[in-house]
Structure 1
């Protein structure tokens, strides 16, 4: 009986240690969160080389972005809030697009100068009258581009719709 108790405790202790190792291994596999990504969603970047950002309008006059083949670099930042389970139309996403010339090593812009990089903000949700894409005309942008490393810092405000993402501060290797 005594051997059974010792064997039982040994089994319990060894199984707890194994779980801790597995938990630590799982944590290492998860990439670190972006600096400005809200905890209730996921954020991602796309750096699209040899592209251009076309600002098009649909038949109702609403602005939308088109990324096409070109000679510039297009950055697409995406924030997607986690959908509420079993709730229809709970999807919510925000997008920030901008483009720049690959030869530009440093860009510093403020307010209406943001038009030079075609910076637009998009809010896509089931939000009647409060969604769509809008040119960013209020804010600032610092972009540093060198040898596949991109540092982007921006803070901005779009007064036409509510927004969650108001600043981005990221270092991206592409």
Structure 2
């Protein structure tokens, strides 16, 4: 069963039909239409934050978030439904990226997508698959209050490949 996450509309202070910045649309998510059927998806905008990408002692990527009044961090998360009686059966995929607060139209293709510092993360008890991966290819567009992201295959059996989020 496809699950559609609906988040209450908290801000209705903008005119119909105009494109707002993703930062301004933070509380205005009306639908996430591309969630895999066996889980739940959420979309979050962390206003006035910046994505800091780091590398650990064994060369694996990870990120931290810090305050920055010029940018916001956007996070799309898929959580697979699991059997709570099975230990270590959790599985999560996450796409996280950064945009400037005043961004009203975005159009990034392949290498340009790294202008957003986009990372794809897998959290699971699965050898060789868990971790964060830099997204070097794909597409990200935001226009007419619709965000659309197409990702390449970064890990085997990847669930998140196409993300569509609509804002009021």
Aligned to 1:51: 49
User: 2:150 & 2:108 partners in 1: Cα distance?
Assistant: 11
Distance of aligned partners of 1:33 and 1:142 in 2 relative to their CA distance in 1, 3 Å threshold? closer
Distance of aligned partners of 1:34 and 1:91 in 2 relative to their CA distance in 1, 3 Å threshold? same
Aligned residues: 140
Gaps of at least 5 residues in structure 1 are 1-29
Contact (CA 8 Å) 1:121, 1:158: kept in 2 or not? no
TM-score (norm 1): 0.74
Deviation at 1:131?
1.5
User: 1:40 & 1:117 partners in 2: Cα distance?
Assistant: 29
Deviation at 1:48?
0.9
Give every structure 1 segment of 4 or more consecutive aligned residues whose post-TM-superposition deviation is greater than 3 Å.
30-33, 158-162
| Structure number with larger C-alpha Rg | 1
Give the 5 Å matches for 1:77-92: 77-92=76-91
Higher helix share: 1
Aligned to 1:131: 130
Deviation at 1:156?
0.8
Aligned to 1:65, which of 55, 63, 66? 63
Aligned to 2:148: 153
Deviation at 1:172?
3.3
Deviation at 1:161?
4.3
User: 2:114 & 2:143 partners in 1: Cα distance?
Assistant: 18
User: 1:73 & 1:119 partners in 2: Cα distance?
Assistant: 12
Contact (CA 8 Å) 2:97, 2:117: kept in 1 or not? yes
Give the 5 Å matches for 1:32-47: 34-47=32-45
Gaps of at least 5 residues in structure 2 are 7-29
Which structure would you say has the larger RCO, counting Cα contacts within 8 Å and 6 or more residues apart? 2
Q: Give the RMSD, CA atoms, in angstroms.
A: 1.9
1:113-148 CA-partner distances (Å, limit 9, x unpaired): 111011110011111011110111121110238xxx
User: 1:46 & 1:159 partners in 2: Cα distance?
Assistant: 22
